[in-house]
Amino acid sequence: MPVIAGLALLRYSVRIGIPSGHPRIILVHSILVFPFVFLIARSRLLTFDDRLEQASRVLGANRPETFLNVVLPILTSSIIAGIFIAFIISFGEFTATQFLVTPDTTTVPIIIYNQIQTGLSPEISALATVLVGLMIVFGVVGDFVT
C-alpha cells in the first residue's frame, strides 16, 4: 500500500504542479496521516454534548467565544493525540517518502536508511537512541494528556 500511495501521490503532485522538495513531502505526509487524525477527532466529537454549546450561547457568548471557551478545551486532548499519532505515522512512513525525496530535501528515516546501507556509524546509533527516547517521552505525555 505505501508503494502505491507514494507513486500515486508523486504522479498527482507532479500533475498539479507542486514543486519537489519540502512542499511535496509535506503535502503527501498530510494526505497520508489525515484519515488517522480525522478518526481521532471524530470520535471525540461524537461524544460531545451539544447542550454545553447551547448553554454557552444562551448565557450570552457569541460563536467565537463559545468555540474558544467551550468546544476547544473539550477537543484539546483529541487534537494533541492526533498530533502525536500524525507525527509517529509520518515519521515511520519510509516507503512512500522514498519517491519524494531529492538530494536537497530528505527525511530522518531516509538518512538513517542510507547510512545503514554504507555502514553503521556512531552518529546513527546516537540518533536512533535519541529517537527511541523521544518516542518514549511522546508515549508518556500522550498518556497524561488523553
Within a domain: 85: yes
Flag whether 134 is in a domain: no
DSSP 8-state class, residue 104: S
Note the pLDDT of residue 66.
92
Residue 94 domain flag: yes
Number of domains in the chain: 1
Which contacts qualify for 83-86: CB closer than 8 Å, 24 or more apart?
83/37, 84/138, 84/141, 84/142, 85/33, 85/36, 85/37, 85/40, 86/33, 86/36, 86/37
Tell me the residue range of the domain where 83 lies. Answer: 2-105
**Number of Cβ within a 10 Å radius of residue 33:** 19
Q: Is residue 115 part of a domain?
A: no
> What pLDDT, on a 0 to 100 scale, did the predictor assign at position 68?
92
pTM over 0.95: no
Q: pLDDT in tens for each of the 146 residues of the chain?
A: 667 777 887 788 888 888 877 888 888 888 888 988 899 889 888 988 889 989 998 999 999 999 999 999 988 888 888 888 888 888 877 777 777 777 788 788 887 887 888 777 788 888 888 888 988 887 888 777 65
Q: Is 29 within the bounds of a domain?
A: yes
pLDDT value, residue 20:
79
In a domain, 23, yes or no: yes
Residue 24 lies in a domain: yes
